[in-house]
Amino acid sequence: MNPLDNELKSAFRRVEPPPDFAKRVLSCIQATEQKPGWRQALVSRLASRFKLARSRRLRWVTACALACLIAVAAVQYRRYERRKVEGEMARAQVMLALRIASDKLNVALKSVERVDRGQPPERARRKSSRRMEHL
Amino acid sequence: MTGHHAEDVLARSARGDAAAFEQIVREHQGMVFSLAYHFCGDPSAAEELAQDVFFQLYRNLRAIKSPAHLTFWLRKVTAHRSIDRARRRRHDLLLGPPLSLEDVPEPMAPMPLPEVALAGKVRRLVQALPAKRRMVVVLRYQEELELHEIAEIMEMPINTVKSCLERSLAILRAKLTRCFGDVHA
């Protein structure tokens, strides 16, 4: 063994920590073992999240996540708009169909009323009038 | 502490026995504190680091398989935490380029110094080494570990450990020779 080895060994002899070190370690562990209340836990969690958010990598991750969120929201909004237009068109078609059906029903009702009064229905009356015109 | 007794203490502390855990802390506190202290050179920082290591041990007690594994685990966690702390601190303080051995002031002429001052000088010179090399030197001379043990703790190839140590010792030898002449080199 050379003199430098001896010097290094004597320089790096083990050193004892302060006498109450073990007690302090245990009290520190006991303090963290005691569960905090939900408010305290929430506050500490938020604080730790905030601290984490300060790290550069997490900032990038947050920015990427935010960009993804905005893209998804835009796509969803466009889909919603398209559905809204389709719904309007379908509504207009239904209204038109109802109007046509209502007209038809009116015609049918009028014919029934004429039959009840002993008159020929509108269509028969029109046919007979056309025949009379031919003659 | 005998082998059987140490295993018993470890098992009891894993079951949540605070007294057994305290016994483990008392037994290993010198090693953990010294590793941290010789690495960072600051007693309060070393104490904080040692506390963190024991706190981490408390949380991972179930993963410790034997007293030998416990010693290895403590050395490894202390080494890695110390290196991480040194890197973080350097980053935080924005010190710029790391302090090299050439930056450490030395006396103009060789002069005899008492033993305590010499040990202090040696420690200061080691402090100027880069983090990983410093830890290799501390593990080698404080814990008197073999190269393969250091390689396991540092998660480095054994040849890298060997070259790290040789390079560090060559620099230290040159520095000490310049300071104290050929007597100590």
CB contacts under 8 A, A 9-28 vs B, are 9-18, 21-26, 28
Residues whose CB is less than 8 angstroms from the CB of residue B166 and which lie 6 or more positions away in sequence, other chains included: none
Q: Both B78 and B108 in a single domain?
A: no
Select from B72, B92, B112 the last residue of a domain: B92
Number of domains in chain B: 2
In this structure, is residue B185 part of a structural domain?
Answer: no
Confidence (pLDDT) at A126? 73
Confidence (pLDDT) at B136? 94
Select from B92, B120, B139 the last residue of a domain: B92
- Which tens digit of pLDDT belongs to each residue from A37-74? 666 677 777 776 666 556 777 788 889 999 999 999 99
* Closest Cβ–Cβ partner in A8, A22, A32 for B25: A22
- Identify which of A93-102, B124-133, B166-175 has the greatest average pLDDT: A93-102
Per-residue DSSP letters for B92-152?
Answer: HHT--SPPPGGGS---SS-----HHHHHHHHHHHHHTS-HHHHHHHHHHHHS---HHHHHH
* Closest Cβ–Cβ partner in A16, A26, A28 for B18: A26
Q: Both B133 and B84 in a single domain?
A: no
Q: Both B39 and B109 in a single domain?
A: no
* Domain residue limits at B69: 3-92
- Which tens digit of pLDDT belongs to each residue from B162-176? 999 999 999 988 888
Residue in the structure block whose two tokens are 């290799």: B136
ipTM of the predicted assembly exceeds 0.95: no
Residues B102/B133, Cβ–Cβ less than 8 Å: no
Give contacts of B58 with chain A, Cβ < 8 Å: 29
* Closest Cβ–Cβ partner in B22, B58, B123 for A11: B123
Interchain CB distance below 8 Å, B142 and A12: yes
CATH number for B81? 1.10.1740.10
Percent of chain B with pLDDT over 90: 52
In this structure, is residue B148 part of a structural domain?
Answer: yes
Select from B92, B123, B150 the last residue of a domain: B92
- Residues, chain B: 185
- Which tens digit of pLDDT belongs to each residue from B92-128? 665 555 555 555 444 443 444 445 567 888 888 888 8
Compute the C-alpha angle A54/A57/A59, nearest 5°.
50
Q: Both B119 and B67 in a single domain?
A: no
**Residue type (1 letter), B7:** E
Q: Both B84 and B13 in a single domain?
A: yes
